[in-house]
Chains A and B, each alone.
Chain A
Amino acid sequence: MDWRKAVRAALHAATHVPQDDVIEELAQHAEAMYEAARAEGLSPAEAEGRVAGQIEAWRIEAHDLRRGPQRPKAVEPPPTAPTSPFRGITEDIRYAARLLRRHSRFAVLAVLTMALGIGAATVLFSVTYGVLLKPLPWPHGDRVIVLKETRGGKAPRFGGFSSTAYLAWRERATTIEEIAAWSSGTATLAGTGDPERIRVTSTSASLFAVLGVRPLIGSLFEAQQEGSPVVVLSEGLWRQRFGGDPTVVGKPLDLDGQSRTIVGVLPDGFAFPDRRARAWVPLEVRPPANNSLSMFNAIARLRPGVTVAQAASEGSARGRFAADTGMTTMAVFGGDGPIDVSAAPLGDALAAEVRRPLLVLLVAVGLLLVIATANVASLQLARATTRRREIAIRAAHGADGARLTQQLLVESLLLGVAGGAAGLVLASLAHRLLPSVLPPDFPRIDELGIDATVVLFAAVVSAATSVLFGTLPALQARRVDLVESLAEDGAASVGAGRRSRSARLRLLIMAGQVAITCVLLVGASLLGRSFVALLTADRGYDPSGVMTARVMLPDWLYSAERRYAVLDQILGRLAEMPGITRAAFTSELPLTPGGSTAAFTLRSRSVESGVISAQASPRVVSGRYFSTLGMRIVEGRGFADSDTQGSLPVVVVNRAFARRYLGDFPLGAQLPMGVGYETDGREATVVGVVDDVEYVTSMEPPLPEMYFSYRQLNGRVKVPVVTFLLRSEGDTASLASAIRLAIREADALLVADALMRMDDLVTRGLARPRLYAVLFGGFAVLALVIAAVGLFGVLSYVVAQRSREFALRAALGAQPLDILRLVLQQGIAATSIGIVAGLVVAVALTRSIAALLYGVTPYDGLTFVTVPVALLLVAVAACAAPALHAARLHPMRALRS
């Protein structure tokens, strides 16, 4: 007889299976007993019968057959009547700490849940606070406003403010102290060390006065220096290139081949327009000549006591007296209506694009926090019920309700403080990741951090949530019936598990959690689907396998003729590189900010007068541009090798152009050749129509565009910045160094920058939608996990409470399946109520994120079907374990316990 096998088999039938060495020890005992019985003269069958009786006795006692601590010493409760209130609190804290250490599993679960909730809320609060609420880092930042100009309600196609409106206002400003113009670009920094591209801001001298900034060393340029080649360095650039040399003022700096004199260094805290700015050079706003109009960004500082609206109306009024720039205005604004100036506080303007998403995320994280709090409240409620005896005994010893409430609240506060501290740790860890997670153009990114306000927020949230999750159980505890609690011996009577207030309350909490999770999941699904739609959107070209490299050829170094020659040479070299299937360049690459636009008239067959005025963006491209980028030609042809300087001038327009200006038969129409670059009276024939290309984002409608081949522009290229595009079949990333070399070889002064895969450019443009989708999705998944754990907890508790009932049912003939169904029903009922409520709330709320969605409606059918199904599946999974446990309960064991 293998006694070990027999003992193991018998004990495995019991609910508590003892450890292996206990089984081994019992098996020895059984064997010795058998041998003794045989020695007494019993037959093998009789001896086996005696041992079997013993094994049965062990089976019944299996729950006590465990090595290791079984009944830990009771934690001594604090005295009922403390000598002083302070003493009472410290004793309560000590008692609570000991209790929590004893119930470490509960404590860890509660603290972890709160840490996740509070941590997520703290991170999001710190970002929201840093971006939307924190005062700007510049003195009088609250009086700095951003100005925007429109003409007849039409916004400019690039820039925000025109030189004419700027000058008209600057001369006679009454509501503002200063107005400043600036624009950002990049320049090649040469001289000592490798040439590099740096971000340079051109600005009027008044910018420094508007923002009230002082130099770290040296001075800042003055208005009369706006025409001179001077430069102000950022502290970072000064340290990097000059090792923080204090005598740097007066030294030269080579920017884009132009030598500039360093006049001063600005502290890193200045960071305007953003932290990427490395140098500032003067921007001279000249009165318009030859109908030219320059566009830039404008900010101003209000006089004290003046409102933003007052400044805006003064700006509009002054702007109406601005010089008229005719067709240029048409080109830039698409109209020449009256000037309107709008103004917004700088802080608001910086955060304008992220305000709504941040608020939406803040609501999401708030909901997550509610779920976490509800979970801990639910856990506490369960403990309060099982602690009825302890509380009853303390009450019997004379502790009054207030004393007990205090003790329970102290316990909750301790959990809350621990959760808050852990949450703060999580938040500070998350903060280290923020710079790499947030898109680089995220506003005020370098001002984000965990400061006193954020810590205060975490503390307040911790305290508030602990009071919330502590109050319910404390109220529950005060209702304890002394006699009943002691008489019941801790176990609920039959049916009590279902009937008890606590159990009902917990199921209600559960339904609420499911509802909130449902709302979050719907939001996450919508944002996720929207992001996927953006990612896979038809942009009108194929970004995969294309590498881009930007080259700057500034006017003072390259004549238009020289530029033509250099570009021609580079293109030739690149096309010959191994692995390259196509090479091209363009004056304007999709997904890069900036751009140009031209206004002109063209003959039209569709209007009576025969002439219409048009605005379109001209692009100068090389012959194979369309095929390199994978653009579709929908009518006619693209450029051919035969399109040269000597051949008939041709132009290719996009579908939007054709639709708006050329009607049904675009081919053969005549446009001014080279409009926007140089017009020489020639006319170009429209030979092809290409599909619309998404230049900026998928959210905006396509605008009219026209493409000219550089080879037909009289051997001159007038654009200072071009981007080369290379399509290869192999790995695009490895091409980078070869491209750099080819460009350097063509001209030693040239530096290729923005070497990027077109794919990356697409993804970079989608950084914000991705961030929102990822964050929202993360919150939703956390909520789902927390809710699932909660559901599991509630049902396990209900099963424990009702174990006697289930045992009785089993004893009276209920099948395990019946009991399984009974438990599942309870969980699924709570979940279903939650799902229905959640869907109703979601329908009402999704409208608020409609502005963030692309390619998916707020009432997306797929989302509203998958989310409930997924939630139900998770709920069934979470309920399965407690339900199976209930079905497997041994009637005798359960009734005896």
Chain B
Amino acid sequence: MMYLYMATKQLRRELKRGSTALLILALLEERERHGYDLARLIQERSGGEIAFHVASLYPRLYRMEDEGLIGGRWVEKPGQRRRRYYRLTAAGKKTLAAQRSVWESFFDALNRVANIRPA
């Protein structure tokens, strides 16, 4: 029982780690967003299932920015304080498409073997 709990916890962590980049890329595909927006949407849309640590969101964003997957810029809107918005770059789009197809074939395989239906 203990083993099962640990295995599940580890799987969750690994899944989360592997999927964060995908989630960010997917959310930015719709339009450019700021950090809080991204954190909120991931939590909302996953129904709280992927309420990942906000502390690791920004390091992740910075790294993705470094890798050229996303681009950040400061935007000032009238009546608001300036905010940092992130958008998808061409490389990010390519990575998103590739990741999607990996996840798709992965879920497909999982479904066929373990009878797991993707959400």
> Do B36 and A29 touch across chains, with their CB atoms under 8 A apart?
yes
- The distance from the CB of B14 to the nearest CB of chain A, in whole angstroms, is 19
User: Which one of A19-27, A362-370, A383-391 is at the B interface?
Assistant: A19-27
Instruction: Please measure, in the bound complex, the distance between the C-alpha atom of A60 and the C-alpha atom of B54, giving whole angstroms.
Output: 12
B55–A54 CB distance below 8 A: yes
A836 within 8 A of B: no
Contact for B56 among A33, A61, A66, CB less than 8 A:
A61
Q: Which of B40, B58, B63, B65 is within 8 Å of A26, CB to CB?
A: B58
Q: How far is the CA of A29 from the CA of B34 in the complex (A)?
A: 9
Number of interface residues of A (CB under 8 A): 23
Our pick among B39, B55, B62 for the contact of A67 (Cβ within 8 Å) is B62
For residue B53, CB closer than 8 A to chain A, the reply is yes
Please give, as numbers and ranges, the residues of chain B lying within 8 Å of A54 by CB-CB distance: 54-55
Q: Which residues of B contact A24 (CB under 8 A)?
A: 84
Cα A503 to Cα B40 with chains together (Å): 50
Q: Do residues A70 and B55 form an inter-chain contact, with CB atoms below 8 A?
A: no
Contact indicator A28/B56 (Cβ below 8 Å): no
Provide the residues of chain B in CB contact with A66, threshold 8 Å.
Answer: 62
- Neighbouring B residues of A65 by C-beta, 8 Å: 58-59, 62
B59 cross-chain contacts in A, Cβ below 8 A: 61, 64-65, 70
- Chain B, range 11-68, C-beta contacts under 8 Å to A: 34-36, 39-40, 53-56, 58-59, 62-63, 65-66
The 8 A CB mask of A51-71 against B (1 = contact, 0 = none) is 000100110110011111111
* Bound-state Cα–Cα, A273 to B92, Å: 78
CB distance from A759 to the nearest CB of B (A): 64
Which residues of chain A in 1-57 are interfacial with respect to chain B, using CB atoms and an 8 Å cutoff?
A: 21-22, 24-26, 28-29, 32-33, 36, 54, 57
**Contact between chains at A28 and B83 (CB < 8 Å):** yes
Chain A 242-257, CB-CB to B under 8 Å as 1, else 0, gives: 0000000000000000
Instruction: Check B62–A29 contact: CB distance below 8 A.
Output: no
Residues on the B chain within 8 Å of A64, using CB: 56, 59
Residues of A within 8 A of B40 (CB): 36
B65 to chain A, nearest CB (A): 7
Give the residue name and chain of the A residue nearest to B39 (CB).
Answer: A29
> Are B55 and A58 neighbours in the complex by a CB distance under 8 Å?
yes
CA distance A22 to B56 in the complex (A): 13
**CB atoms of A29 and B55 under 8 A apart:** no
Task: Confirm or deny: B117 has a beta carbon within 8 angstroms of a beta carbon on chain A.
Answer: no
Contact of B36 among A22, A33, A58 (CB under 8 A): A33
- For B74, list chain A residues within 8 Å (CB): 21
Most buried by B among A25, A36, A54: A25
Chain B's closest residue to A29 (CB) is B36
Q: Are A57 and B58 in contact (CB under 8 A)?
A: no
CA–CA, A61 and B58, complex, Å:
10
B40 to chain A, nearest CB (A): 7
Let me know if A28 and B81 touch, CB within 8 A. yes
Q: What residues on A are CB-neighbors of B39 within 8 Å?
A: 29
How many chain B residues touch A (CB < 8 A): the figure is 19
> Do B81 and A69 touch (CB < 8 A)?
no
Nearest chain A CB to B27 CB, angstrom units: 16
Tell me the nearest residue of chain B to A62, going by C-beta.
Answer: B55
Residues of B within 8 A of A26 (CB): 58
Do the beta carbons of A22 and B66 come within 8 Å of each other? no
Closest to A25 in B: B84
Within 8 Å CB of B34, what residues of A? 28
Question: What's the Cα separation between A296 and B47 when bound, in Å?
Answer: 109
A672 vs B63: C-alpha distance in the bound complex, in angstroms?
100
**For the complex, what is the distance from the CA of A71 to the CA of B39, rounded to whole Å?**
24
Complexed CA–CA distance, A29 and B39 (Å):
10
Complex Cα distance, B53 from A328, in Å, reads: 106
Q: List residues of chain B with CB within 8 A of the CB of A22.
A: 58, 62
Chain B residues within an 8 Å CB radius of A57: 53-55
Report the bound CA distance from A154 to B53 in whole Å: 96
A35 to chain B, nearest CB (A): 10
A47-105 contacts to B, CB under 8 A, are 54, 57-58, 60-61, 64-71
Complexed CA–CA distance, A58 and B58 (Å) = 9
CA distance A323 to B9 in the complex (A): 116
Shortest CB distance B20–A (Å) = 14
Interchain CA distance A22-B84 in the complex, whole Å? 10
Residue ID in chain A nearest B53 by CB atoms: A57
Residue of A nearest to B84 (CB): A25
With A36-B40, A67-B65, A68-B66: A25-B53 Cβ-Cβ less than 8 Å? no
What is the distance, in angstroms, from A5's C-beta to the closest C-beta of chain B?
Answer: 14
Q: Which of A28, A33, A36, A54 has the most CB of B within 10 A?
A: A28
Let me know if B35 and A25 touch, CB within 8 A: yes
Closest chain A CB from B45 CB (angstroms): 16
Evaluate contact between B62 and A61: CB separation under 8 angstroms: no
In the complex, A21→B74 CA distance in Å?
Answer: 9
A69-B58 in contact given A28-B83, A33-B36 (Cβ < 8 Å) = no
Closest to A60 in B: B55
**B55→A61 contact, CB < 8 A:** yes
In the assembled complex, how far is the CB of residue A74 from the closest CB belonging to chain B, in whole angstroms? 15
Q: Which of A21, A28, A58, A70 contacts B66 (CB 8 A)?
A: A70
Cα(A201)–Cα(B112), bound, Å: 107
Distance of A568 Cα from B40 Cα, bound (Å) = 105
Q: How far is the CA of A69 from the CA of B35 in the complex (A)?
A: 19
Give the CA-CA distance A185 to B107 in the complex, in Å: 102
Interface centre among B39, B62, B84 (most CB of A within 10 A): B62
> By the criterion CB–CB under 8 Å, are B65 and A29 in contact?
no
In the assembled complex, the Cα of A58 lies from the Cα of B62 at a distance in Å of 14
Contact between B55 and A32 (Cβ–Cβ < 8 Å)? no
* CB neighbors of A among B65-110 (8 A): 65-66, 74, 81, 83-84
B62 lies within 8 A of A70 (CB) = yes
Residues of the A chain whose Cβ atoms lie less than 8 Å from the Cβ of B81: 28
B40 and chain A: residue at smallest CB distance: A36
Question: What are the residues of chain B within 8 A of A36 when measuring CB–CB?
Answer: 40
Is the pair B36, A32 in contact by a Cβ cutoff of 8 Å?
yes
Report the separation of the CA atoms of residues A66 and B65 in the bound assembly, to the nearest whole angstrom: 11
CB distance from A31 to the nearest CB of B (A): 8
Which residues of chain A have C-beta atoms less than 8 A from B66's C-beta? 67-70
A58: min CB distance to chain B, Å: 5
What are the residues of chain B within 8 A of A25 when measuring CB–CB?
A: 35, 58, 83-84
Q: Smallest distance from the beta carbon of A590 to chain B beta carbons, Å?
A: 74
Mark out the residues of chain A between 760 and 786 whose CB falls within 8 Å of any chain B CB in the assembled complex: none
Given contacts A57-B55, A58-B55, are A29 and B63 in contact (CB under 8 A)? Answer: no
Q: Which residues of the partner chain A approach B63 to less than 8 Å between Cβ atoms?
A: 70-71
State whether B35 touches A29 (Cβ < 8 A). Answer: yes
By the criterion CB–CB under 8 Å, are B58 and A28 in contact?
Answer: no
How far in angstroms is the closest Cβ of chain B from A739? 72
Which A residue sits closest to B62, measured CB to CB? A67
Q: How far is the CB of A16 from chain B (nearest CB, A)?
A: 12
> A29 vs B40: C-alpha distance in the bound complex, in angstroms?
10
Say whether B84 contacts A21, CB under 8 Å. Answer: yes
* Closest CB in chain A relative to B53 CB, distance in Å: 7
- Complex interface: chain A residues within 8 A of B65 (CB): 67
The docked-state distance in angstroms from the alpha carbon of A71 to that of B60 is: 12
Please give the distance in Å from A37's CB to the nearest CB on chain B.
12
Contacts of B35 in A (CB 8 A): 25, 28-29
B56: nearest residue on chain A (CB-CB)? A61
Distance between Cα atoms of A68 and B83 in the complex (Å): 19
Complex Cα–Cα for A127 and B34 (A): 67
Closest to A66 in B: B62
A35's nearest neighbour on chain B, judged by CB, is B36
Instruction: Return 14 A-B CB contacts under 8 Å, by A number.
Output: A22-B62, A25-B84, A28-B35, A29-B36, A57-B53, A57-B55, A61-B55, A61-B56, A61-B59, A65-B58, A67-B62, A68-B62, A69-B66, A70-B59
6 closest Cβ contacts across the A-B interface? A64-B59, A57-B55, A32-B36, A61-B55, A29-B36, A25-B84
Known: A26-B58, A29-B54, A32-B36. 13 other contacts (CB 8 A): A22-B62, A24-B84, A28-B36, A28-B84, A29-B35, A29-B36, A54-B55, A57-B53, A60-B55, A61-B56, A64-B59, A65-B62, A69-B66
Binding site for A on B (CB under 8 A): 34-36, 39-40, 53-56, 58-59, 62-63, 65-66, 74, 81, 83-84
